[in-house]
Amino acid sequence: MIIKDFDKMRNVKKGLILTFVGLITLTSCDKFLDVNENPNAPGASTLPLSAKFPAAIVSTVNQETIQLNQIGAFFGGYWGTNNDGNSSFYDFKTYNGPSIRNQRGGVPVWENGFNNILYFQLIKDEAFSSGDRFYIGASKIMQGWLFLRLADVYNNIPFDEAAKGTEFKAPKYEDGKSVYQKAVNLITEGIQDVKNSPEVGVRTDDIIFKGNKSQWAKFGNTIKLRALIRQSEVGDQSYINAEINTIENEGSGYLSVGENAYVDPGYLNSTGKLNPFWENYYRNVQGAAVANYRIIRPTVYLLDQYELRNDPRLEKLYVAVNGEYKGVLFGNPDAGNPIYDEENTSSFKGANENNGNPTGLFKKFNQPSVLLSSFESLFLQAEAAQRGWISGNAKTFYEDAIKESFNYLSVPASEFAQYNVQNNVNLDNASAKIARIIEQKWLALNSVNSIEAWNDYRRLGLPDFPGTAATGITGRPLRFMYPETERGTNGDNAAAQGSDLMTKDRVWWDKE
């Protein structure tokens, strides 16, 4: 069972260390980016927690900003590809679940997620032996984050028998709702452990909050609020109210204006050590455009939504083509049409396209990675307030969220008033206020935390962006199929979960 109480934490087992050999981590004494020494190898016991902890954080945020962000960008209505990328991301554009779960060429959300959970377990166990409650608490919060992510993608997953190394060779699955509740409890415990840890000043190895215990508590509460919001259509309201009360009694609140969970390990202008979002979707170390930058394009629907609102974020995000913004259709149904060629469609806009000045998503090679932004937190609070779950003014949260999004994308603050006065933006003018909040949340999270767009669409059907236009494809992606790696090692438990179809089987909080 996942270890919950500080007084019951056990010393790390030697066999557990061997479990982590395959985990990709990025550590060094000051930059946490040196891959020459694998801290998960058997000799890794010589590395201090101050090296292992930031490595686990970097591994987690890499999964968020590259793998999960990409999934959400395609399934959440943001990205398509131009004609040059017609054969790229084909499995996403055709909702090909079996290929996505393929052991060799698939998308290892499961493997990466559970590896990171195991790594934080190792850190927790080592921290118990040294009595460091900060590492224990922060690791619990991060494990809760990871369990929630996996349940969002796969639904039923192992929890009690996960993170046990070789103790359980075929860990049993638990239903997604139970995983959610246990993950929320784990985060609650983690917040208390962090708060009860000794004051040690600035922690340089804490590459998110530098040891700020109040910020860790707000971060944990915001993750829990996201988990509760996810249950809006199917959740037990008494449970939601009880958990909101727990957050209020804890007293730290949520991430607010200017408060972001940014990961800043000290990226370097060296191959494999630049900001991973920059390096995967914009420029390499030589400054040349990478393949993803040349083929990924915004969807027509996305550009239309910005233009309908005269949204000043549009010109910060994308490059105009002959004075106009040109998108593509997700699924490439008309790949022979020259209007979808690379030169005729709008690419991302970054510093190189802005006279060297930071703008949009791509400001500089060593920009911090976004784990959870202030604007996502504020949109969550806006929805919670609109539903009557928390105190505070939904309009204030909503407007602050848009302002924070403007700030992140380098839009001058002076442009907010003119933007917000529009009938299709102002919250007071909306007949369906939850829908209005989700519309703006969707526009703000574009390519920042795109997985949340897919999650909100599954939860609410909002915004109503088109599905794939690929020929002969019906339905929408509802979840991932269990990977072949899991079916090969834990097949009976995986098979017992049901038909396991990508466009048929819903996760527990996705109400039909």
Please give the full DSSP string across 80-131, using - where no structure is assigned. Answer: EE-GGGTTTTHHHHTT-HHHHT-TTTS--HHHHHHHHHHHHHHHHHHHHHHT
Residues 77-93, mean pLDDT to the nearest whole number:
98
Query: Measured between alpha carbons, how far is 299 from 466 in angstroms, rounded to an integer?
Result: 9
pLDDT above 50: residue 383:
yes
Residue-wise pLDDT tens digits, 159-170:
999 988 788 999
Residues 271-282, mean pLDDT to the nearest whole number:
98
pLDDT above 50: residue 311:
yes
Q: Are 121 and 139 in contact (CB under 8 A)?
A: yes
Query: Measured between alpha carbons, how far is 364 from 403 in angstroms, rounded to an integer?
Result: 22
pLDDT above 70: residue 13:
no
pLDDT above 80: residue 25:
no
pLDDT score, position 11: 32
pLDDT score, position 261: 99
Query: Measured between alpha carbons, how far is 456 from 217 in angstroms, rounded to an integer?
Result: 24
pLDDT score, position 45: 62
pLDDT score, position 44: 53
Residue 27 makes CB contacts below 8 A (sequence gap 6+) with 33, 34, 37, 39, 47, 51, 52, 54, 55, 58
Residue-wise pLDDT tens digits, 230-267:
999 998 999 999 999 999 999 999 999 999 999 999 99
Instruction: Count the residues in the chain.
Output: 512
Residue-wise pLDDT tens digits, 94-126:
999 999 999 988 999 999 999 999 999 999 999
Pairing of the two strands 296-298 and 157-158:
unpaired
How sure is the predictor about 19, in pLDDT bands with cuts at 50, 70 and 90? Answer: very low
**40-49, 58-67, 493-502: segment of lowest average pLDDT:** 40-49
Higher pLDDT, 512 or 456: 456
pLDDT above 70: residue 2:
no
Q: What is the DSSP letter of 174?
A: E
pTM for the model stands at: 0.93
Residue-wise pLDDT tens digits, 126-157:
999 999 999 999 999 999 999 999 999 999 99
Query: Measured between alpha carbons, how far is 219 from 70 in angstroms, rounded to an integer?
Result: 23
Residues 325-349, mean pLDDT to the nearest whole number:
97
pLDDT above 90: residue 512:
no
pLDDT score, position 235: 81
Residues 473-497, mean pLDDT to the nearest whole number:
96
Q: Which fold does the domain 49-256+368-470+477-497 belong to in CATH?
A: 1.25.40
pLDDT above 80: residue 15:
no
| Widest CA span in the chain | 66
pLDDT above 90: residue 20:
no
Report the candidate in 297, 253, 235, 160 with the shortest Cα–Cα distance to residue 507. Answer: 235
pLDDT score, position 440: 99
Report the candidate in 374, 362, 220, 280 with the shortest Cα–Cα distance to residue 67. Answer: 280
Residue-wise pLDDT tens digits, 399-454:
999 999 999 999 999 999 999 999 999 999 999 999 999 999 999 999 999 999 99
pLDDT above 70: residue 24:
no
Mean pLDDT, rounded, of the chain: 92
